[in-house]
A = this chain, B = another copy of it.
Amino acid sequence: MLTLFFAPGSSSMAPHIALHELGAPFESRPLSFAKQDHRAPEYLALNPEGKVPTLLIDGRPLTEVVAILFYLASSFPDARLSGGDVEAEAHVLSWMSFVASTLHSAWIARRTSIDVTRAAFGVANDRLGPREWALGGRYSIADIHLFRLYWRFRNWANPGGNEFPCLSRHYDRMMTRRAVQRTLEIEAAIGYELPA
């Protein structure tokens, strides 16, 4: 039994999309930052940092977006959301590590430096290049992870389609996927509590 603790629009959106991609049955546990759900003792017992997401696997907590995405993709191999061999899988992790560190750190720094943030998304744009997906021809959890951060950045910075053309086309491709649409609908219906 899988249970996902998430906050609409936050980084937990990536595992949320992955669960819909996989068609995996799971229990939804939305948290409200405004109501301080993430500081409640029951939640801190699962995730001492009070962060989202947390995935419960038969009651056992797993934290960190990259680890949860890897677990989901590996547990449902038929969906082929990870790499095909060890080297391809390592490239999926390389992408996700880049998104989680370089890109996310730059995003966190946006209040002090818009330039740093845009430069990092420029690196991501070049890294993606003309490929359809992060791995090339194959859709993977790396695309989900990349999409979520660009979605957030896009809503905030409203870049023109020409500024990050590769990311922009990737975004459009992602938005045609049923799992992405479904996740956005569900999370919007619960309501976003996102800082400016």
Q: How large is the interface on A (under 10, 10 to 19, 20 to 34, 35 or more residues)?
A: 20 to 34
In contact, A57 and B87 (Cβ under 8 angstroms): yes
| Contact of A70 with B by CB under 8 A | yes
In contact, B98 and A63 (Cβ under 8 angstroms): yes
B-contacting residues of A (Cβ < 8 Å)? 48-49, 57, 60, 62-68, 70-71, 74-75, 86-87, 89-91, 93-94, 97-98, 100-102, 104-105, 108, 123, 126-127
In contact, A70 and B48 (Cβ under 8 angstroms): no
Q: Within 8 Å CB of A91, what residues of B? A: 62, 67
In contact, B105 and A93 (Cβ under 8 angstroms): no
In contact, A87 and B62 (Cβ under 8 angstroms): yes
Q: Within 8 Å CB of A70, what residues of B? A: 89-90, 93
Q: State how many copies of this chain the complex holds.
A: 2
Given A49-B123, A68-B90, A74-B90, 4 new contacts (CB under 8 A): A48-B126, A48-B127, A67-B91, A70-B93
Q: Within 8 Å CB of A86, what residues of B? A: 71, 74-75
Given contacts A74-B86, A86-B74, contact A97 B48 (CB under 8 A): no
CB-CB nearest 6 A-B residue pairs: A67-B94, A71-B90, A64-B97, A67-B93, A64-B94, A66-B97
In contact, B100 and A101 (Cβ under 8 angstroms): yes
User: Shortest CB–CB separation between residue A111 and chain B, in angstroms?
Assistant: 13
In contact, B104 and A101 (Cβ under 8 angstroms): yes
Q: Pick from B62, B87, B105: contact of A90, CB below 8 A.
A: B62
Q: How far is the CA of A101 from the CA of B123 in the complex (A)?
A: 18
